[in-house]
Amino acid sequence: MGSAATQTTDTAETTGMATSPRDAVAEVVRRARAAMEAYENHDAERVDDAVRALAWSIYKPENARMLAELGVADTGLGNVPSKIIKNTRKTFGTLRDLLRARTIGVISEDRERGIVQYGKPVGVVGAVCPSTNPAATPVNKAMMALKGGNAVIIAPSPAGQMTTARTVELMRAELKKAGHPEDLVQLLPSPVSKEMTQELMNQVDLAVVTGSQNNVKRAMQSGTVAIGVGAGNVPVIIDSTADLDDAAQKICASKIFDNSTSCSSENAVIILDDVYEPALAALERAGGWRCSVDEREKVRNSLWIGDKLNRRIIAKDADITAEAMGLAPDARRAKFFMVEEAAVGGKHSFADEKLSLVLTVYRAKDFADAKRITRAILDVTGKGHSAGIHTKNLDHARELAAETDVVRILVNQAHTFGNGGSFENGLPFTLSMGGGTWAGNTISENLNYRHFINITHLVTTIPEDKPTEEELFGPYWQRYGKS
């Protein structure tokens, strides 16, 4: 059973070609539980060995490139150089985080409080993955799942099914080579469908869902413990103190990475009035095309078809995007396209997530106005996810963090490269960013290994820690009395 294709055939033969989705999923869950029984998940060294095996399956240079090329051909989204970076950088960073973590046996001890924590598996994980990252996300989730001592079943997006199937084959091959049960990582049986994915979410012990917000909602309603992540729509402020060229270069690098497939890609920039024109000039120097009023309307009319984003434009190369939108010939040499808006619209407006090389620009009267525009954008789409600021005034960054309902505020960073973890910030590496209850999510942090373990607390007695009534009620009594 060395490949995902063989795995699917075996499942069909075991359960019958006319197997119902419920029975087909039950079979892969059974195999996952059997693999967990055979997994040496009581041994931290062996667990780390399995995690390294999964990481190497995609980090290996020829595999990273092959999966990147297959991912673009399979989905029509993004570009190969960016996906190679995503396949390697995210994997390398996640491996760093996981090898530094304790998840098996005693994972922490607090003698002062008399508490020892033991990490234990959550069980079989169902990992629903998006078309935007059909290789990197399955490996990322599988690494975290196996680090917790679990088995994982990968549910691909129909648009990225071939890439995800090949990725699972590579993971299984590395597990076999290292002497671990291959069925620790399995692929949801074909054909991929909403019904089959729903069955997976119903039958596993933990469902972890990235991508379609419809899948996230269905996971939350499945009765299974579920972790879902919210939609991105990142607004970034450029304030009066920012290094404009540095900000522009970072925004460009982030915006064009994988043709804006990332949920962390900047979708809007809010520029303070007193630096508006210099900041736009810096963005133009970095590769942005400033659309005319007429061009803005062409972009608007071509970006959406009805209530859906135009597949001819989303996540496409800049020259293809410019031609599809009917922009001037010189625009095809640009890296991204700026449309200026006077007010924040609603859904299917320039304030919404665009998944394309289109960047909306707003002019703010002052910093208070910039914060207002930021919140208005997030109310359209992306509340809970993240926002950013380019500034030398950290008080502005603190204000934005205190007043904005998002999980992450990035300061002076290229958002796509920092939001899901970076070697230059303290966020854990991940491809799944929780948005808290603002986004209807159960986590308000980056998905990480802690979400894949249960914890047993061994509790022993400590010297009594009981304050007096005066210590607890004193301030209240002084203000309002005891009567």
Contact call for residues 332 and 322 (beta carbons, < 8 A): yes
Contact call for residues 435 and 216 (beta carbons, < 8 A): no
118: left (phi over 0), alpha (psi -120 to 50) or beta: beta
Task: Please pick, among 129, 252, 263, 291, the residue that the annotation labels catalytic.
Answer: 263
| Residue labelled with tokens 């989730």 | 141
Query: What's the token pair of residue 21?
Result: 């989705």
Strands 308-309 and 304-305: what pairing? antiparallel
β partners of residue 121: 453
Contact call for residues 391 and 237 (beta carbons, < 8 A): yes
Kindly give the residue spans of alpha helices, DSSP state H, lying in 16-148. Answer: 21-38, 44-59, 61-75, 80-85, 91-99, 136-147
> Would you give the DSSP letter of residue 210?
-
The Cα 270–Cα 274 span in angstroms is: 12
Query: What's the token pair of residue 242?
Result: 């920012």
Which of 384, 379, 359 has its CA nearest to residue 440? Answer: 384
Active site residue 263: yes
The Cα 342–Cα 297 span in angstroms is: 14
Contact call for residues 54 and 139 (beta carbons, < 8 A): yes
Catalytic residues: 263
